[in-house]
């Protein structure tokens, strides 16, 4: 029994997939086309009730039904086949609305005394345009609707072919219908403009919110002065790289860089000059390291450099180049003064089973060893 039920569900799913595809975008388009088709079928049913009640000649209703069915089928085939994807409006919303208005205007002509059903149907048709068309398109649709129903009203009043059931609709009633149709068209156009404006505001607010979130994220992981990753970001990257190095058994190096005699820079030239020096130092070091290396401001005049998949000898050569470049690059301070900087570096390689805290402690110890040996040098921890 369970296998039968499963087989039936599988067959139903395959049938559904064959009918409306498995593409989610196509499914949405076909679902909306199906909804409009159901509404059209409801209108067809109403017209046949009118014909069955003897209020109008059934022959024009049958031809009108065929025309409506042809439109529904054409829309489904164009969307299901994928042919509509080449169009600017793959859902064929504008085409469906224009065709539905034409069918509605034709129903107004052939419905006889029951043509009062046309304005409510028109209101439903226009609701699809509120959410699927631009204000400019909606204005065009409204003008088209006025012309279509104006022509339909003229046919009712002055044209009486043999196939059209005669009726003696008073001109005042025809005018009232046309006024209601104009109200439906105008209100739908106005509502579309308001909806479009609200959507534009929402999109603008969404962009502003995304920009604010990105700014907050940057403030959370970036050092405001140097633009480098901050301590929080470096701690997270150290954790990730530590786990990766332990899994892959690839070397991982951590270097701690400290500007020599930086307190004297602040005391002599002021903190504004110290900020300029830190910015210049960060730019110089960033220009020397590789794209795969992570340079971060650790705090004050201290910086960390994380080098993944790098052997100690290669890391030491890179840091020696950094040290030499910093020493050879004077910092231009406000007022034309030039300041020479040097940097001391402690370098440590991650040992098997070692924690990031222990690795950082060894790099820090190597840094202080470099300072004890006279500063402006790179020292590898053992």
pLDDT in tens, the chain (382 residues): 455 555 566 666 667 666 667 778 888 888 888 888 888 888 899 889 988 988 888 888 999 999 999 998 998 888 888 888 888 888 888 999 999 999 999 998 888 888 888 888 888 888 888 877 888 888 999 999 999 998 988 888 777 665 565 566 778 888 888 898 899 889 988 888 888 888 888 888 899 888 888 887 777 889 989 999 999 999 999 999 999 999 989 999 999 999 999 999 988 888 999 999 999 999 999 999 999 999 999 999 999 999 999 999 999 999 999 999 999 999 998 877 889 999 999 999 999 999 999 999 999 999 999 999 999 999 999 8
Taking phi over 0 as left and psi of -120 to 50 as alpha, with beta for the rest, 266 belongs to alpha
25: DSSP letter: H
Regarding pTM above 0.75, the answer is no
The answer to whether 108 and 116 are in contact (CB under 8 A) is: no
Strand partners, 296: 304
Helix (H, G, I), strand (E, B) or coil at 80: helix
Give dist(CA 374, CA 372) in Å, integer: 5
Give 159's DSSP letter. -
Burial of 267 by CB count in 10 Å (0-12 exposed, 13-18 middle, 19+ buried)?
exposed
- What the block records as the tokens of 291 is 């794209």
Please pick, among 301, 302, 320, 349, the residue that the annotation labels catalytic.
Answer: 301
253's enclosing H/E stretch is strand 252-259
42, 124 Cβ separation under 8 angstroms: no
Please say if 349 is a catalytic residue: no
Contact 155, 205 (CB under 8 A): no
Supply 37's token pair.
């088709």
Question: CA 132, 22, 12: angle at the middle one, nearest 5?
Answer: 115
Contact 381, 363 (CB under 8 A): yes
Quote helix, strand, coil % in the chain, to nearest 5. 70, 10, 20
> Which residue from 254, 253, 257 is spatially nearest to 327, judged by alpha carbons?
257
Tokens standing for 297?
Answer: 């401001």
Instruction: DSSP letter for 222, please.
Output: B
CA-to-CA distance for 67 and 126, rounded, in angstroms?
Answer: 20
Concatenated DSSP letters for 265-332? HHHHH-HHHHHHHHHHHHHHHHHHS-TT-EEEEEETTEEEEEEET--HHHHHHHHHHHHHHHHH--EE
Extract the tokens encoding 141. 């649709």
> Can you give the pLDDT at residue 245?
93
State the Cα–Cα distance between residues 294 and 228, nearest whole angstrom.
9
Judge contact between 347 and 363, C-beta under 8 A: yes
Question: Tokens 């100690």 sit at which residue?
Answer: 312
SS3 333: coil
């Amino acid at each position: 029994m369970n296998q039968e039920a499963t087989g039936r569900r599988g067959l139903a799913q395959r049938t559904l997939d064959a009918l409306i595809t498995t593409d989610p975008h196509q499914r949405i388009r076909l679902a909306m086309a199906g909804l409009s088709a159901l509404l059209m079928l409801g209108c067809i049913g109403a017209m046949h009730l009118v014909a069955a009640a003897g209020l109008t000649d059934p022959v024009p209703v049958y031809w009108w039904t065929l025309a409506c069915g042809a439109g529904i089928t054409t829309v489904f085939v164009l969307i299901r086949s994928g042919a509509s994807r080449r169009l600017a409006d793959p859902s064929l919303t504008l085409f469906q609305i224009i065709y539905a208005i034409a069918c509605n205007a034709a129903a107004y002509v052939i419905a006889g005394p029951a043509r009062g059903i046309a304005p409510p149907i028109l209101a439903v048709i226009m609701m699809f345009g509120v959410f699927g068309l631009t204000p400019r398109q909606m204005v065009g649709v409204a003008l088209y609707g006025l012309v279509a129903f104006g022509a339909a009203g003229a046919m009712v009043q002055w044209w009486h072919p043999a196939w059209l059931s005669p009726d003696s609709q008073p001109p005042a009633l025809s005018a009232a219908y046309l006024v209601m149709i104009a109200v439906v068209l105008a209100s739908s156009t106005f509502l579309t403009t308001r909806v479009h404006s609200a959507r534009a505001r929402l999109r603008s607010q969404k962009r502003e919110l995304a920009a604010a979130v990105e700014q907050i994220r940057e403030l959370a992981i970036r050092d405001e002065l140097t633009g480098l990753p901050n301590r929080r970001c470096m701690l997270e990257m150290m954790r990730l790289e530590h786990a990766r190095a332990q899994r892959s058994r690839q070397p991982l190096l951590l270097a701690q860089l400290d500007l020599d005699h930086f307190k004297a820079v602040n005391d002599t030239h002021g903190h504004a000059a110290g900020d300029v020096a830190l910015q210049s130092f960060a730019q110089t070091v960033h220009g020397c390291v590789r794209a795969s290396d992570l340079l971060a401001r650790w705090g004050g005049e201290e910086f960390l450099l994380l080098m993944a998949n790098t052997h100690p000898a290669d890391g030491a050569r890179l840091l020696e180049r950094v040290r030499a470049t910093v020493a050879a690059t004077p910092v231009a301070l406000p007022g034309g003064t030039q300041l020479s900087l040097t940097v001391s570096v402690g370098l440590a390689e991650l040992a098997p089973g070692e924690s990031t805290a222990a690795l950082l402690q060894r790099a820090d110890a190597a840094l202080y060893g470099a300072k004890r040996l006279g500063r402006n040098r790179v020292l590898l921890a053992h």
